[in-house]
Amino acid sequence: MIVETSQRTTSPELVQNIVSPLLKQPVPPMQPAMGFFTDTSICIGCKACEVACKQWNELPANEAHWSGTSYDNTRQLSATTWRHVQFIEQIGRERPQISTLPFFNNDRWLMHSDVCKHCANAPCQEACPTGAIIRTEFDTVYVQQDICNGCGYCVVACPFGVIARDEHASHTARKCTLCYDRMKDGIEPACAKACPTDSIQYGEVEQLKALARERVGLLHERGVSEARLYGVDDNMLDGGLNSFFLLLDEPAVYNLPQNPSRPSNNVVPASLWSIVTALVLSLLGIFFFSNNK
C-alpha cells in the first residue's frame, strides 16, 4: 500500500529547504574508486540493463517509437535513459581466408551497452557552476538533484552526450548515478546485476582495468584483432574513465569520440585570447579618446 502523504511545507522547513543547499555537509570517508567495465564481446543485446536501470531508478519509459536502426529503438542516452544498447549490423564483410572457426562470426552484429563514463576528470563536473555535480566517495560522478538548478552547462560540456536536462519532470540535469544508493549498501548497480552474461561488470576500477587488459589480450590471442579498450588509459580526458569499454571496432562505429578534448582545458587559451583582445580594444579606445586632434 502506498500511503498518500499530503505535505504542507511549514515555514521552518521552508527556511531549511532554502538554506541547507548552501551549507556544506560532512564528507563521507573515501572508498576505493568503483566503476563499470562493459565488455561488448559478450553482450547479447538483451537490454536487461536498460530495463533494470529504469526500474531501479524509477525512470519513465521512452516514447514507444520504432526507429528502424536495427533493434535499437532507444537510440540515445538521455535524462531518463541511463543505459542504452546499440546494435550495429556488419553483414557481408570481407571474409578472411582462415581454416579454423573464428571466435566471432565474420558477419557481425555488434551490441554495446552505453552508459555514463564517470570520467576521472569529468567535464560535466568541471563545468557545473552550482557544485551540484560532485565526485562521491567512490570516485563516481553524481548529480545532486536537490542542488542542480538546470543551467544546462554540463549538457554541452559532456563530450559523450551523456548528461541531459530532464525537460519533463525534474528540469534538472540527470544521468547514471552508478546506483549510488545501491553502492552505499554494498550491492552492485542494477544493470550489472541484471546482465546475464556479465558483459557489464562492476568493481574497483583498478582491478577492472587489469581485467580489461587481460581480456583484450585474450581476444587478440584468439584472433579478434579488432578488439580494443576504450577509456582505460589515462590519456583519455587526462585521467581515463572509471566506466570503460571493450569495443570490437573503432570507437566512431559506436559514436564514441576517439580522443575527446577536455573542455576545461579551453578556458586558459580562450581567456588568453580574450585578454589580448581586451588589451587591443582598450588601447584602441584610449588611443582614439586621448587623441583630440
Partner 1 sequence: MQQIRLPQAIVERLTPTQIAEQLATLTTGYTPDPEQELRESTYYDLPVLKAPVWHWEIIWYFFFGGLAAGCYLLASIAALFGSREDRIVARTGYYLSLLALLPCPPLLIKDLGRPERFLHMLRMFKVRSPMSMGVWAVMSFSFFSGLTTLIQAARDGLLGHARGVRWLALLPQSWLALPGSAVALLLGSYTGVLLTATSIPLWSRSKLLGGIFLTSAVSTSIALISFVLRLVRTPLGTLHKLERLEWSVLLLEMLGLLAFLRASGRAARPLVGTAPTEHGTTFWRFVFGTGLALPWLLQTLSLLTKRSPQRRFPGLLISLLVLLGGYFLRRTMVEAGHTSSQDARTTLWNAQS
Partner 2 sequence: MGSNMAEAHPVAFANVVKAKERGAKVIHVDPHYSRTSALANLHIPIRAGSDIVFLGAIIRYLLENNAYFHDYVLHYTNAATLIREDYRDSEDLDGLFSGFDPETGVYSDQSSWDYQRDANGQPLTDPSMQHPRCVLQILRRHFARYTPEMVEHVCGVPHEQWAQVMDTLIENSGRERTTALCYAVGWTQQSKGVQIIRAGTIVQLLLGNIGRPGGGIMALRGHASIQGSTDVPTLYDLLSGYMPQPSAQLPQQTLAQYIATAGQKTGWWSHLPVYIRSLLKAWYGKAADEQDGNCSYRWLPKITGDHSHLVTSYAMLDGKVRGYFLFGQNPAAGSSSARMQRKALEQLDWLVVRDLYEVESAAFWYKGPHGDAVDPSKIKTEVFLLPAAASTEKEGSFTNTQRVIQWRDKAVDPPADARSDLWFVYHLGKRLKELYATSRKRQDQALLALTWDYQREEPETNSYILDEPDALLVLKEINGYYVHPSAHTIGRRPTYTLRDAPHIAGFAALKADGSTACGSWIYSGVYPEPGNNRAASRIAAGYPPLQWGYAWPANRRILYNRASADPQGRPWSDRKKYIWWDEQQKQWTGYDVPDFPLSKAPDYIPPPGATGMDAISGNSPFIMQPDGKGWLFAPKGLKDGPLPTHYEAVESPVHNAMYHQQSNPTAKYFKDRPDNRLVTVADANYPIVITTYRLTEHHVSGAMTRWLPWLNALQPTLFAELSPELATERKIKHGDWIVISTPRGEIEARAMVTRRVRPLRINEHVVHQIGLPFHWGFQGKATGSITNDLAHTVLEPNVSIQEAKAFMCNVRSGRLA
16-45 positions binding partner 2, by CB under 8 A:
42, 44-45
Choose from partner 1, partner 2, none: what does 282 bind? Cβ within 5-8 Å by kind.
partner 1
Binds partner 1 by CB under 8 A, chosen from 15, 30, 210, 267 = 267
Q: Which three cell numbers stand for residue 99?
A: 581454416
Nearer to partner 1, 104 or 254 (CB): 254
Nearer to partner 2, 147 or 224 (CB): 224
Nearer to partner 1, 112 or 182 (CB): 112
Nearer to partner 2, 24 or 65 (CB): 65
Q: Which three cell numbers stand for residue 185?
A: 549498501
Does 265 bind partner 2 (CB under 8 A)? Our answer is no
Nearest of 61, 110, 111 to residue 81 by alpha carbon: 61
Choose from partner 1, partner 2, none: what does 207 bind? Cβ within 5-8 Å by kind.
none
Give me the long-range contacts of 23-32 (CB less than 8 A, separation at least 24): 27/137, 28/136, 28/137, 29/137, 30/137, 31/137, 31/138, 31/139, 32/138, 32/204, 32/205, 32/206
Does 173 bind partner 1 (CB under 8 A)? Our answer is yes
Does 257 bind partner 1 (CB under 8 A)? Our answer is yes
* Residue 37 parent element (H or E): strand 34-39
Does 63 bind partner 2 (CB under 8 A)? Our answer is yes
Pairing of strands 243-247, 34-39: parallel
